[in-house]
Amino acid sequence: MVKEESNLTAFQDYSKFLEGGLGQAELVGAAAWQPPWRAPLQRKAPFYPGDDIYHADTWRDLEVTDAVGGARYNASVTPHGTVCLRLRDRVKVDMTVDGAVRVTNAKYNIVLALSQSGAAAALIHPNGRVYNYRSRVEIQAHHQQGNNKYAKMWYKGVSFTAEQCALVYLVDAAGTRTTTDTFLDMSQDFTLNVFYNESGHGPSYVNKAMSLLQAMQYWLTDDGIDNWIINNVRVSQTADGLVR
For the chain, helix, strand, coil in percent to 5 are 15, 35, 50
| pTM for this entry | 0.74
Q: Say if 101 falls within a structural domain.
A: yes
Which residues form the domain of 49?
Answer: 14-237
Quick check: is 7 in a domain?
Answer: no
In a domain, residue 95? The reply is yes
Q: Is residue 52 part of a domain?
A: yes
**Structural domain includes residue 145:** yes
Do the domain assignments include residue 180?
yes
CB 208 within 8 A of CB 71: no
Residue 6 domain flag: no
Number of independent structural domains in the chain:
1
> Do the Cβ atoms of 38 and 184 come closer than 8 Å?
no
| Residue 192 exposure: Cα atoms within 13 Å on the Cβ side | 20
User: Which ranges in 115-205 belong to alpha helices (H)?
Assistant: 191-196
Is-contact 227 243, C-beta < 8 A?
no
Q: How far is CA 165 from the centre of its chain?
A: 28
User: Per-residue confidence of the chain (244 residues) as pLDDT tens digits?
Assistant: 444 444 443 333 333 332 333 222 332 333 345 666 667 545 444 456 556 543 333 333 333 344 444 446 789 999 889 999 999 999 999 999 999 999 999 999 999 999 999 999 999 999 999 999 988 999 999 988 888 999 999 999 999 999 889 899 999 998 999 998 888 888 888 899 899 988 999 999 999 999 999 999 999 999 989 999 999 999 999 998 899 8
SS3 178: strand
8 Å CB contact between 130 and 123: yes
Within a domain: 9: no
